[in-house]
Amino acid sequence: MLMNGVRTSAIPGKGSIEDVSKEKCMSQSLRDSVHLVSDPSNLDSSVKEVFHLMLGCECEQSNAQHLQPKESVTAVVGFGGLLSGACVFRSSSHTACKIAAQLTGSEISEVDDTVKDAIGEICNMLAGAWKSKVPELAANCGLSVPAVITGRDYNIHVQSPEFRLFHSYFFDGSPFDVTIICDGIH
């Protein structure tokens, strides 16, 4: 059982044998469902859903990896619970401003707090939509608050992930990338 992101079975006197047993069953079923969790089509459908529902537009998957922009905006939402890892959204500053403008209905020409909040929220919605594709994951995996990084010449590194999904997309002709990184299924 999870309590504020902490398994109650790990807290002395808080988890019953029944809770530990349920957690082991759920863990085994998630491990058995890893092919669903790592299915690239779940990422694609999540991106399409979020952009259609929240921005009222379509985005297209791109087969080419985009060149690193001079200035970029990256949002990271962590997964915790039966799966640990992160959802990472990365775009140029220009694309981030276009997305924020579409989301808020206002003109935006430079990265400010509104853009950072918008990109963090888009990443949060993508993470939620992606984890909802597998019932065991949806019920037993929490999300962190989005962290947003802006600037130049930075990389996000995760040591030996269990799996990594990386897809590039276009929003109104502007590229962005979404990565799902799983560093453990518990």
49-74 pLDDT per residue, tens? 999 999 999 998 887 665 666 789 99
| Residues 43, 178 contacting (CB under 8 angstroms) | yes
Give the C-alpha separation, 50 to 147, whole Å: 19
| Residues 78, 86 contacting (CB under 8 angstroms) | yes
* Percent of the chain topping pLDDT 90: 59
Provide the 10 A C-beta neighbour count for residue 53: 10
| Residues 183, 106 contacting (CB under 8 angstroms) | no
> Looking at residue 5, what is its pLDDT?
43
Q: Residue 151: helix, strand or coil by DSSP?
A: strand
Assess whether pLDDT exceeds 70 at residue 155: yes
pLDDT tier at 161, thresholds 50, 70, 90 = confident
| Token pair for 132 | 């909802």
| Cα distances (angstroms) measured from residue 23 to each of 75, 140, 178 | 30, 9, 30
Supply φ then ψ for residue 27, to 5 degrees.
-65, -45
pLDDT tier at 154, thresholds 50, 70, 90 = confident
* Percent of the chain topping pLDDT 70: 80
pLDDT tier at 103, thresholds 50, 70, 90 = very high
pTM greater than 0.85 (yes/no):
no
Give the C-alpha separation, 83 to 186, whole Å: 6
> Looking at residue 29, what is its pLDDT?
58
| Residues 113, 120 contacting (CB under 8 angstroms) | no
> Looking at residue 80, what is its pLDDT?
94
Q: What is the pLDDT of residues 4-36, one digit of tens each?
A: 443 333 334 444 444 444 444 444 556 677 777
β pairing state of 59-62 and 2-3: unpaired
What amino acid is encoded at 35 in this protein?
H
Which domains does the chain show, CATH number per domain? 33-185 (3.40.1550.10)
Residue 117: Cβ-neighbour burial (10 angstroms; 0-12, 13-18, 19+): middle
Q: What is the pLDDT of residues 132-153, one digit of tens each?
A: 998 888 899 999 999 999 998 7
| Residues 165, 38 contacting (CB under 8 angstroms) | yes
Assess whether pLDDT exceeds 80 at residue 41: yes
Is the model more confident about 164 or about 20? Answer: 164
Give the C-alpha separation, 102 to 89, whole Å: 17
> Looking at residue 81, what is its pLDDT?
93
